[in-house]
Amino acid sequence: MAARHRTRWATGGAALALALAAALAGCSGDDSPADTASKAESAVGSLASGASEAVESATAEAGRRLDDIQDGIDVKGDVKVGPPTVGSDGRARAEVTVHNTADAARSFAVQVNFTDAGNKLIDTVIVTVSNVQTGHSATATARGTHDVSGEIRAEVARAVRY
């Protein structure tokens, strides 16, 4: 069975962009794809929640970091996200299912965006699913970083297999 991991792209003020850039600066071209995904997970997991502009900034940075995964293949079509719910902690969550169509075991890094009823981006998270065997599927849970209420939507923004 594949290991399940989750990481959050949290939101914050102008300091977020600087902290995120500094924390992710170690994701160099010399790192393995798993190291790059793991460093991105660690960096974003440590950031605090805040303003919506920072969510957009974090989303852009998430996209850049997914681009940095060496030998990564865009596999958004092989990933599904279930309907989001709000947990007892007030945070959005959604089940992410990846399907490995490659000819060997692979890992996935998936960016999930949470939006409100007005389609306003309220959170973005990166979920990694490791060592999915060829022809198999695995799941992980994307968990938001701050309290939400009302109607919440979840969508796969990006998915990279490596």
The residue extents of the domains of the chain are 48-161
What stretches in the chain show pLDDT beneath 70? 1-52, 54
Q: H helices of the chain, where? A: 14-24, 33-45, 52-67
Which among 91, 48, 41 is positioned nearest to 17, based on CA atoms? 48
Taking residue 151's Cβ as centre, other Cβ atoms within 10 Å add up to 10
- 150 backbone φψ class: left, alpha, beta (φ>0; ψ -120 to 50): left
Q: What's domain 48-161's architecture?
A: Sandwich (2.60)
d(CA 90, CA 28): 35
Cβ–Cβ < 8 Å for 112, 94 = yes
| pLDDT of the residue at 55 | 74
Name the pTM for this structure: 0.70
Which among 70, 65, 46, 86 is positioned nearest to 157, based on CA atoms? 65
| pLDDT of the residue at 44 | 47
Radius of gyration of the chain (CA): 15
| pLDDT of the residue at 36 | 60
* β-strand partners of 93: 85, 143
For residue 77, what are the contacts with CB-CB under 8 A and spacing of at least 6? none
| pLDDT of the residue at 118 | 94
| pLDDT of the residue at 40 | 55
